[in-house]
Amino acid sequence: MSTFALKLIAPTRVLFDGQASLVIAATTEGEEGILAGHAPFVGALKPGVLRAEVSDEMGSRRLELATDEGFIQALPDRVTVLLERALSLEEIDLEATRAELAAATEPAAIAFAEAKLRLARSA
């Protein structure tokens, strides 16, 4: 399967920099799956779950992150995703997230908490 360069970038760190064969991200228009050779595309992300089939020096694996708002830029040979906040399954504290969801009032905060729970459930 052909691959492309994938970069997942958060404001304070680069989350992933390597090759990927597939990225599925929740854009404001719905889930968008991106393969190698995708037409140039820029979209806004809403809080959701980002999935990617990636391979780097740590080997081939599936990457799953609960993400806050962000942006995605796809070119035929590379995809860059900017993520405000992103957490992997191991980083999610279920209890804290439930409390966060109960306390959250802003739609964006609620959506991010829900995304974290969705990722935890799907695992």
Partner 1 sequence: MASVKDLRDQIRSLKNTQQITKAMKQVAAAKIRRAETAQKQARPYADTLGEMLRELVAAVSRVDHPFMNPGKTSAPSGMILMTADKGLCGAFNANVIRQGEAFLREHPGAVMYSVGVKARQAVRRFGGGDHPSWPLNAASKLEAAREVARTASAAFVEGKISEIVLVSSKMLSMLVQRPQTLRLVPIARDGMADATVNQGPKAMVEFAPTPEAVLSQLLPKYLEFTIFSAMLETDAAFFAAQLVAMNNATDNAGKLIDEYTIQMNNARQAAITKELLEIVGGAEALNG
- Kindly list the residues in this chain that would bind partner 1 in the complex (CB under 8 A): 7, 9-14, 27-29, 32, 39-44, 69, 71, 73, 80, 82, 84
- Looking at the Cβ atoms of 7 and 120, the one nearer to partner 1 is 7
Shortest distance, position 123 Cβ to partner 1, whole Å: 27
Nearer to partner 1, 41 or 103 (CB): 41
State the Cα–Cα distance between residues 88 and 105, nearest whole angstrom.
24
- Using H for helix, E for strand and C for coil, what is the string for 79-122? EEEEECCEEEHHHCCHHHHHHHHHHCCCHHHHHHHHHHHHHHHH
Give the nearest distance from C-beta 121 to partner 1 in angstroms.
Answer: 27
